[in-house]
């Protein structure tokens, strides 16, 4: 079986995008603690596996900076400021994404029915393979969270979860990184 299929992600051709996990909006997000725990696991795993991360902030003057718990794990990553709901509406985002030279997009963030959804559809239209980490996206309400995930799937995105994704990136139990990844998910 080939792992080069667009159905699979690998640590050499994937990039993680964290959309708008900002202080003011994060305070009112449905199941925010669960989202943050899973996102922290995903960030730690990405660092072990060498998967780059892009971070966006929607109108930071209005919604605040990236939540400190996330920023602490990504101290060297400068957020890409955006005003368009879709990340792809910002030239700076597209330039940063192109610099990674990766075609598998791992989407996380808030809100699933607005910025994550619009980014997903635009990335699919640009020819990227998009994998939505369903336990790392949310909205202010469960209904909008579910709607966003459903619409992204209907548009052609692949749905995954934090643990599923980390082991897919790891690919084999023979990896010297297995213990580190196993510690993260337990």
Active-site residue identified among 82, 87, 120, 136: 82
Of the candidates 179, 149, 148, the one whose C-alpha atom is nearest the C-alpha of residue 166 is 179
Residues 6+ apart with CB under 8 A from 96: 54, 80
What is the distance, to the nearest Å, from the Cα of residue 72 to the centroid of all Cα atoms in its chain? 17
The catalytic residue among 115, 120, 122, 135 is 115
Identify whether 115 is a catalytic site residue.
yes
Q: From residue 99, give the alpha-carbon distance in Å to each of 15, 54, 110.
A: 11, 11, 24
82 is catalytic: yes
Catalytic residue among 20, 120, 135, 136: 20
The sheet carrying 14-19 orders its strands as 80-82, 53-58, 14-19, 104-110, 129-138, 158-160
Residue 76 bears catalytic tag = no
The distance from CA 168 to its chain's CA centroid, rounded to whole angstroms, is 15
Active site residues: 20, 82, 115
């Amino acid at each position: 079986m080939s792992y080069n299929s667009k159905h699979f992600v690998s640590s050499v051709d994937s990039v993680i995008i964290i959309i708008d996990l900002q202080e003011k909006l994060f305070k009112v997000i449905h199941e925010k603690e669960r989202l943050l725990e899973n996102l922290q696991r995903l960030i730690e795993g990405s660092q072990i596996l060498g998967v780059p991360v892009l971070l966006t902030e929607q109108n930071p003057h209005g919604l605040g900076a990236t939540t400190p718990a996330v920023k602490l794990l990504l101290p060297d990553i400068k957020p890409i400021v955006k005003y368009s709901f879709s990340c792809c509406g910002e030239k700076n985002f597209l330039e940063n994404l192109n610099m990674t030279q990766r075609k598998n997009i791992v989407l996380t963030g808030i809100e699933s029915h607005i910025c994550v959804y619009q980014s997903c559809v635009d990335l699919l239209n640009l020819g990227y393979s998009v994998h939505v980490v369903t336990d790392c996206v949310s909205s202010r309400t469960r209904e909008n969270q579910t709607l966003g995930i459903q619409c992204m799937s209907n548009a052609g995105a692949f749905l995954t979860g934090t643990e599923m994704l980390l082991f897919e990136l790891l690919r084999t139990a023979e990896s010297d990184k297995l213990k580190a990844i196993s510690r993260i998910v337990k």
